[in-house]
Chain A
Amino acid sequence: MFALSPEGLERVKKEMRRYETKQSAIIPALYIAQQENNGWISDEVIDYLSRVMEIPAAQINEVFKFYTMFNQKPVGRYHVQVCGTLSCHVNGAPELIEFLCRHLGVKLDEMTADGKFTISRVECLGSCGTAPMMQVNDTYYENLTPEKALQILKNLP
């Protein structure tokens, strides 16, 4: 069964006191839980949060499903999100995505066999002037070429 670490639970409780209502802590709690559950949210995670936050599971679930930053299935240790919206699209994003998928031997949203990478195509990340770009976990990498992007991924521990 999923359970947060004592520190994680403390952080969730702090978030529940941080805003005017505890509902506002659902998004922060999902972030904390996702971090402790290898980058995704399972049904178990929802049930657990429902218990500790005393909020109906259905309510947490609908928030979870609405926002794209919460993953509904396991992702690699490095979640590589390539922006595909217009400014990136006309500056080589399709080629970048194709190149990374081919070199890592995966389809979009599929994890590499070693569990290290998942490549996703996402919508505008507000990095249009430095296109094309990718976000690896929390970090932006901008002004990429396919080769440069692959090198960045290869250099990750």
Chain B
Amino acid sequence: MKETKVLTEHYDKEEYRFLEGYQKWGGYSMLRKALKMKPGDIVEMVKASGLRGRGGAGFPTGVKWGFLPKNGEPRYLLCNADEGEPGTFKDRLIMERAPHQLIEGMLIAAYAIESHKSYIYVRGEYNYPIRVLEKALEEAYQAGLLGRNILGSGFHHDMDIYRGAGAYICGEETGLISSLEGYKGQPKLKPPFPAVQGYLKKPTIVNNVETLAAVVIILRDGPEGYRKYGTEKSPGTKIFSLSGNVLRPGNYEVPLGFPLKDLIFGLGGGIPNGHQLKAVIPGGSSAPVLTAEEAMRATLDYECLANMGTMLGSGAVIVLDDRQCMVDCLGNLMHFYHHESCGQCTPCREGTGWLDKITQRILSGQGQPADVDLLFKVADNMKGRTICALSDAAALPVMSFVTKFRDEFDYYVHNGKSKVKGKVLAHAQMYH
């Protein structure tokens, strides 16, 4: 079982992190190619490739670019490097191993959408990736790849880094914009969409790190070449972050459509110590959970996972084995969403609080018979009633956990302890 390394082909080479090494392996030749093309043709190329946003929503990138007004108003490109979806650590890999690939992808995107200013918004905790990026930006400026008249093309573009300060919600594109503008990272009502009115009310495109890096590949291989991997509706390769109860966790690049079981049991080496697979969260903590049986027949593409009632999300696959108590795992996630709700919309602010409190109550052995249904009801009332997707992101896991592992929830409520043998959750109080 092997990876299909397209984006990450040279990531194991130390020199690839620096301009000289990156150029040795063909780096920035796609920027040169792009600068000779018409910007609109690049947008069409990305549209034709079918590339879908790799941050979580999976929206077609070229279509997003196409939403920009055609009036020549100044526009911004923002790279979303806030990577905060639990289970996800792929953007960090790109920034640490191939900062110039990201910069090149951003420059091609900026040229295509005719933007002269971009920011890479990196989560504040990513101190090391920020330092790698700073060094790379410095190198790029010195080499004339950034600034005025890039490579003699007449195109100019400035790029800078903005360091976030610890808030999951800033990974939501309008939350990111609020944060970059110097405010609380609270999402904004859409429409207007950022492409029309974004950063400082100017047209703005926000793309994920992996999405922007993939633009380099699309320029190199063309839309047809890019579509050589993946499925019709999910073209290309993607980096999957594999974690949880698995022998070889890590980032793996595979074509979309790759069987989930091959990721877990092939590349990931399976479940440690002879334990059994119990459940898989296939697309970051916001994605509804799959049972082991469902996971064994799932493929990693947008359409299959949507058909199974879950989503590909950011490509973060969290594996849970038979030692895990599903009530405990849900309690952990509800604590996360409660902590990360920005507090703006009532259903989310209050709902995540209640979901957290109810799961903690069950975990402490004080659960009441109606609690399991109450969890489901609260979650159901949070769906689709808020400005951004965080509320749904908290609600959907609850509904899937409770529906698919109902017996564990009922057992916990009735017996005041986990159904999983020997599971002692004395640490539950540590959350608060």
Contacts and interface: CB of A to CB of B under 8 A. Distances in A.
B181 A21 contact: yes
A22 B339 CA distance: 29
Contacts of A30: 165
Interface in A60-89: 62-63, 66-70, 84-87, 89
A126 B92 contact: yes
Contacts of A42: none
Nearest to B325: A90
Interface string B247-288: 001110000000000000000000000000000010001000
A125 B86 CA distance: 8
Given A27-B165, A87-B243, A90-B324, A123 B340 contact: yes
Contacts of A31: 163, 165
A37 interface: no
Given A31-B165, A86-B244, A86-B329, A121 B249 contact: no
Contact of B165 (A20, A67, A89, A90): A67
Shortest beta-carbon contacts, A-B, top 4: A23-B182, A67-B165, A68-B166, A128-B243
20 contacts: A19-B160, A20-B200, A21-B181, A23-B183, A26-B182, A67-B185, A69-B166, A84-B430, A90-B324, A94-B430, A124-B87, A124-B168, A124-B336, A126-B84, A126-B88, A126-B92, A128-B86, A129-B241, A129-B251, A139-B127
A98 interface: yes
Contacts of A50: none
A26 B181 CA distance: 9
B250 A129 contact: yes
B56 to A, nearest CB: 14
Given A27-B165, A90-B329, A63 B285 contact: no
A21 B200 contact: yes
B295 interface: no
Given A90-B245, A138-B127, A127 B89 contact: yes
A85 B126 CA distance: 17
A146 to B, nearest CB: 13
Nearest to B129: A126
A135 interface: yes
Contact of A129 (B242, B340, B427): B242
A121 B285 contact: no
